[in-house]
Amino acid sequence: MLKFFERYKTFAIVLSILSVIIIYCIYTLLKPEERLPVYQPDMVNSELVDSTVQYVRKYHKIADFKLVNQNGDTITQDYYKDKIYIADFFFTTCLTICPIMTDHMIEIQEKIKDDEDVLLLSHTVFPVADSVPVLKEYAKEKGVIDEKWNLVTGDKKQIYELARKSYLATKSTGDGGPYDMIHTENFVLVDKKNQIRGFYDGTKADAIQDLLHDLKVLKAEYRD
């Protein structure tokens, strides 16, 4: 009996390896390709969506914009043309969720700093205080890489309209005066067609890992 097993030992090993390869190939072929949803306003918590777009079910995209970054440069949608980007809303003097969100953006910046396809965009919800010099100082303090990450300010009405009508990410319209400001912890993943592909809690480490995973899934979509 031992001689029998010795004689067929090599064959058994080869057969086992081939079996593993075949099973893996079958699993890979049958496993559905992971793909991110394209978010529409009617899929999002209505509190975060302006009433004018709440019931939109298709074709939603980030609207054109014109804002100013930490270097005083005008930033429009053209800066993000054919790019994937991650957007959020913050203000520099926030002492609650913003520091955590900014730390997580810094973590993401480190991951994507050599990736030409991915950029970051942070909008202040307190433009009356967050002037260009203030944003510049904040950017220096936090280690912002200018080529990767724009911190933008501008007309408050435009910023809040972007937040509610485009990014679907804040409960306030900002109409209650210069100091009326409410923002959320949402990080928003935007694809190369200016479509929303994911929302993530910017205060939670596990959500950031989900975002980084989804970023890889989205990038694979463009390689196919």
For the annotated binding site, the residues are: 94, 98, 183
Please, are residues 90 and 138 in contact by the beta-carbon 8 Å criterion? no
- HSE, side-chain direction, 13 A CA sphere, residue 67: 31
Q: How many CB atoms lie within 10 A of CB 10?
A: 9
Q: Pick out the residues of the known binding site for Cu cation.
A: 94, 98, 183
Please, are residues 154 and 48 in contact by the beta-carbon 8 Å criterion? no
Give the torsion through C-alpha atoms of 104, 109, 111, 114, to 10 deg.
180
Question: Alpha-carbon distance 49 to 173, whole Å?
Answer: 10
Amino acid making up residue 163: A
Amino acid making up residue 52: T
Question: Alpha-carbon distance 219 to 40, whole Å?
Answer: 20
